[in-house]
Chains A and B, each alone.
Chain A
Amino acid sequence: MNPEANTGASRARAIPDRLPPPLWQALRSWEALLVVVFVLVFAANSFASPYFLNAWNLSDATFNFTEKAMIAFAMAMLIIAGEIDLSVASIIALASTAMGLAMTAGAGTPLIVAAGLVTGLACGAVNGWLVAGMGLPSIVVTIGTMSLFRGIAFVVLGDQAFTGYPPGFAYFGQGYVWWVISVELALFAALAIGFYMLLHRTGFGRSVFAIGNNATAALFSGIRVGRVRFMLFLLTGVMSGLAAVCLTSRLGSTRPSIATGMELEVVTMVVLGGVSILGGSGSILGVVLAAFIMGMVTFGFGLLNVPGIVMSIFVGLLLIGVIAVPRLLRRK
């Protein structure tokens, strides 16, 4: 706002696009820390168990995280935008129930899959409408729909279960694309790339960051804030539907209690991946690394016959530790 501002473009001092980032800054990044943790976990596992470094065993290990990670990618975008969806595990239950109903009605594999995906989409639309359309806080809305969606699954199924999915349906959760690369792992890899492009390389992804940093300012910059939020809930719903397809296919059955508590593991994965729970920052690469770390830790502990609950202590400590340690260091 210099008086000569517009006349003197030539005499204005040039601002460089970027400063060369100091190397130590790259090394101190969250992703670098996660890589170190991953290498340590991997090394520790290799030493601890002779069965760990086996292609088929490692391939089995990926089932620990692929379904959660599918949802975690969408959840990461949602959390970056300053929202949260705690209903994802319940969406899995409802989508799986819908697939069971479709199967009972005699549908083939394509229709069963479609039933799961469409149910996920519909659940996401309900969340999105309540949050973006009615302006309600997402944490309460999704605590409500978490209860509602799984509740409907319980109403339909009671203490029964759907079993007897067609053999072709098993492909999603039990099939292999090539050698040890499972269908789920391939899906995970494709989604990781897709979400990386969506979040970091498109205008939609940029809007997500803008909204997470300051939704009002984003609105005042011409971003369609409500529409972006709605789309994010749709995306999370559809990914939950996809996870439901994989999980149901892998288990071969549907119970209303399917995937109970998974929302917390998904959120943990996202936060461990360096996404700020307050919104505004995060990366897909971080979530991918976090998925691998959680998967390897689970698998390693499994090989050592460590009970699952001890593993969850570890995840809980990891979740608090990774946030607390940098803050403690900064205070010094």
Chain B
Amino acid sequence: MQPVLSLRGISKSFPGVKALEDVQLDLYPGQVTALIGENGAGKSTIVKILTGIYQPEAGEIRVAGQGMRFDSAEAAAQAGVTAIHQETVLFDELSVAENIWLGHAPRGRFGLIDRAEMRRSARTLLQSIGADLDPDLRLKELGIASKHLVAIARALSIDARVVIMDEPTAALSHKEIHELYDLVEALKAKGKAILFISHKFDEIFRIADRYTVFRDGRFVAEGAMDQVGEADLVQMMVGRSVDQIFPTRAHNIGDEVLRVAGYNHPTEFADIAFHLRRGGVLGVYGPVGAGGSGGMQALFGITRPSRGACMVEGTARIIRSTAEAIAAGIVYVPEDRGRQGAVKGLPIFQNVTLPQLNRVSRRGLLQMAEEFALARDYTARLDLRAASLDQDVGLLSGGNQQKVVIAKWLATRPKVIILDEPTKGIDIGSKAAVHAFMAELAAQGLAVIMVSSEIPEVLGMSDRVIVMREGRIVSELAGEAMTPEALVRAAAGIDGQGVAA
């Protein structure tokens, strides 16, 4: 079979970085090709080349055997390549129909947009993928899953031959993911070539026909999915064999540090109650959107609970702001590292001292020597790699930025550290380091809360797990009861007899 799109010898570099070097990629009609690689392997660069945002320095792009240049996003769209991105691709203020047809709307008299025709064809397209959405609704009135359907309808509207799905399930619920699988099948049946990018192996094995592996900007291997196993793919990705081994932890669990009772919020969570001991790791499991993050952010003073109480080391604490949470000894390492993590633009040492500016001040004036001392101490413990402590955090790699965030919190000498999806989007090699580090923190007497939607991680790291569903704690598991099946059942709302509740 001839590939509908094939890349050969593609290279692209940025100042100081060789993002892609001599890579190849083939996409076949009616097949899903999974593009697999760690962070920094060059996946997003290849997507940008395919959609005409970047131009490669070398190599050729062939569409149906014919050499092409994608000089602009328009050129790529005209060649029939379209991308469905994570969340940020569409326009909230435009209608569903306009989102589908923006840039290539049907024209009527005088070259004006034919709105009736636009609505009609939008409805037809949506129905063809089983979506019964009103084309006149504004996009902001839809949920994420429906927005996805609109994005897919848009892809179909330009008569795409190649559909790129970049982490399409990142923000979807379990049920929505299954609807997405059905859609992918529908697209395959229409003969589209699909490039599927995902971190999640279960998805890849569920949906892909072929795979292509990149590593450090180079092509490693390609082949059919049914010829390959999970361990093989991991080995190709990291260049070595990695078993996911979690650190063994000394279970010297101490006194109760934190007790939370009756935390409620009008829309996000209800009846959150749990307790936590020194040296313990509490896993909070639930699919994305189950309310775990919201509950934890309430504990950190970001989300204001409507009622609820919390006690730290036996003292009742009222937490209405992040400053009060930090004062109570509770800190939070956010999931959204880009927006909520380190303050890019400020140097490393200023990031570290940001939560406790009073501590490094004398008579109201900052003492820079003390700031550097504090930053030096905690960044050294985390083995930070940087040219100097005066360097802008934005110039560090993602992993090192995360180290700055953690150093910042450890410097406040917290009692409870909450890690929200600590390994999301992190490559396999670094995951093990994060896990080992969490074990270290617990061994030093911190109480750790880990919010995660990855079952192996939750089971491998936690002493106890609370399972969230629709904003409520539905189960609390410990010891022998902590099995993958138990987690999935609790999170999916399936009772002991296997019947959906």
Are both chains from one complex?
yes
Chain B neighbourhood of A6, CB < 8 A = 381-382, 437, 440, 444
User: A17, B365: Cβ atoms under 8 Å?
Assistant: no
B339-A201 in contact (CB<8A): no
Judge if A217 is at the interface, Cβ distance under 8 Å: yes
Contacts A15-B389, A217-B340, A222-B326; is A5 near B376 (CB within 8 Å)? Answer: no
State the Cβ distance, B408 to closest chain A Cβ, in Å.
Answer: 7
Closest residue of chain A to B402 (Cβ to Cβ) is A1
Which B residues are in CB contact (< 8 Å) with A7?
440
What residue in chain A is nearest B323 (Cβ atoms)? A222
Taking the complex as formed, is A90 at the interface, i.e. its CB lies under 8 A from any CB of chain B? no
Q: Is A305 among interface residues, defined by CB-CB distance under 8 A?
A: no
Chain A residues lying within 8 Å of B90, measured Cβ to Cβ, are: none
Considering the chains assembled together, what is the distance between the CA atoms of A15 and B376 in angstroms?
7
Chain A residues lying within 8 Å of B437, measured Cβ to Cβ, are: 1-3, 5-6
Decide if the interface of chain A is mainly helix, strand, loop or mixed: loop
State which of B339, B361, B406, B408 has its C-beta within 8 Å of the C-beta of A216.
B339
CB-CB < 8 A to A203: which residues of B?
A: 357-358, 361, 364, 366
**Are B321 and A224 interface neighbours, CB within 8 A?**
yes
Contacts of B339 in A (CB 8 A): 214, 216-217
Quick check: A17 and B349 within 8 Å, CB to CB?
A: yes
Residues of A within 8 A of B383 (CB): 1-2, 4-5, 8, 12-13
**Quick one: given A220-B322, A220-B341, are A15 and B408 in contact (CB under 8 Å)?**
no
How many positions in chain A have a CB within 8 Å of any CB in the partner chain?
A: 39
**Is A201 touching B354 in the complex (CB atoms < 8 A)?**
no
How many cross-chain pairs have Cβ atoms below 8 Å apart between A and B?
A: 141
Report chain B residues within 8 Å CB of A3. 247, 432-433, 436-437
Q: Which residues of B contact A218 (CB under 8 A)?
A: 343, 354
Interface string of B362-401 (1 = CB under 8 A from A): 0011100000100010011111111111100000000100
Fill in one digit per residue for A79-102: 1 if any B CB lies within 8 Å of its CB, else 0: 000000000000000000000000
Query: Does residue B332 face the partner (Cβ distance < 8 Å to A)?
Result: yes
Residue pair B364, A202 in contact (C-beta under 8 Å): yes
The answer to whether A9 touches B357 (Cβ under 8 A) is no
A221 touches B433 (CB 8 A): no
A21: min CB distance to chain B, Å: 9
Cβ contact within 8 Å between A214 and B343:
yes
What CA separation (Å) do A17 and B376 show in the bound complex?
A: 8
The 8 Å CB contact of B340, one of A16, A212, A220, A222, is: A220
B210 to chain A, nearest CB (A): 34
CB distance from B399 to the nearest CB of A (A): 7
23 A-B pairs with CB atoms under 8 Å apart are A2-B382, A3-B432, A4-B383, A5-B437, A5-B440, A6-B381, A18-B390, A206-B350, A206-B366, A207-B357, A210-B354, A213-B343, A213-B344, A213-B346, A217-B339, A217-B340, A218-B343, A219-B302, A221-B343, A221-B355, A221-B408, A223-B355, A280-B345
- What are the 9 A-B residue pairs with the smallest beta carbon separation, nearest first? A203-B357, A213-B345, A18-B390, A222-B355, A3-B436, A222-B326, A221-B354, A2-B383, A1-B433
With A206-B353, A210-B343 given, name 5 new contacts (CB 8 A): A3-B433, A16-B388, A207-B354, A214-B343, A220-B322
